[in-house]
C-alpha cells in the first residue's frame, strides 16, 4: 500500500510542478489536502571562499546590511530576508550535502531603476554579463541585469515591469 501511495503522491507532485499544464480536479484536490503552506523565504545559505570579501561586495554593490548572530556568524540582510554566510570548509551543521562556492543563481528584485543600478555597477567595477533583458519573475514579467559576485555566483537584479502588482518582490 505504501508503494502505491508513494507512486500516486509522486505523480501528483510531478503534475503540480508542470507549469504548462492546466490544473486538474485531482491537482486542486492534492493541493487542498497538503497540510503545508509555504509563505515566503526567510534565508538561504551562501557558501563563500571569503566572508569579508562577500560582505564587502554585497554591502557596497547591493546595499545589503551585515547581520551578526549566534557565535559571531555573519549574514547579509535585505528586505525581510537574509543570506547566511558559510565559510567554505568551515560550514555550520546541518549543511548542504555538497557545499560549494559559486554555485548559486540568485534573482533579486529592486525598485531602483536598472539604469541607476548599471551606473552603480560600473562605478564599483562590476562587469554586467547580460542585460537589460526581459525575463519571467515569480509574479510577472521583469527586466534584468546579470553579473557575478566574488565567488562567481550569478546575480540577477531585476525590476518588475509596471504591469506587476506593487510590492511583488
Read off the C-alpha cell for 98.
Answer: 555538497
Q: Are 108 and 156 in contact (CB under 8 A)?
A: yes
Q: Could you tell me which of 109, 124, 43, 38 has the C-alpha nearest to residue 76?
A: 43
Please say if 156 is a catalytic residue: yes
Q: How far is 147 from 61, CA to CA, in rounded Å? A: 11
Name residues whose C-beta falls within 8 Å of residue 154's C-beta, 6 or more positions apart in sequence. Answer: 104, 105, 106, 129, 146, 148
Q: Could you tell me which of 73, 97, 105 has the C-alpha nearest to residue 87?
A: 73
Instruction: Find the catalytic residue in 65, 127, 129, 156.
Output: 156
Question: Catalytic residue numbers?
Answer: 156
Amino acid at each position: 500500500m505504501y508503494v502505491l501511495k508513494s507512486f500516486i503522491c509522486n505523480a501528483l507532485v510531478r503534475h503540480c510542478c508542470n507549469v504548462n499544464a492546466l490544473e486538474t480536479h485531482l491537482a486542486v484536490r492534492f493541493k487542498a489536502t497538503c497540510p503545508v503552506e509555504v509563505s515566503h523565504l526567510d534565508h538561504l545559505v551562501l557558501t563563500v571562499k571569503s566572508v569579508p570579501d562577500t560582505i564587502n561586495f554585497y554591502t557596497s554593490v547591493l546595499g545589503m546590511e551585515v547581520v551578526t548572530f549566534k557565535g559571531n556568524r555573519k549574514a547579509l540582510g535585505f528586505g525581510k530576508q537574509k543570506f547566511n554566510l558559510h565559510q567554505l570548509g568551515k560550514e555550520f551543521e546541518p549543511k548542504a550535502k555538497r557545499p560549494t562556492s559559486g554555485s548559486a543563481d540568485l534573482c533579486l528584485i529592486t525598485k531602483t531603476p536598472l539604469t541607476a543600478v548599471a551606473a552603480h555597477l560600473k562605478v564599483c567595477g562590476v562587469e554586467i554579463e547580460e542585460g537589460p533583458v526581459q525575463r519571467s519573475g515569480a509574479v510577472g514579467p521583469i527586466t534584468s541585469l546579470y553579473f557575478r559576485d566574488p565567488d562567481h555566483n550569478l546575480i540577477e537584479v531585476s525590476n518588475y515591469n509596471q504591469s506587476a502588482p506593487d510590492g511583488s518582490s
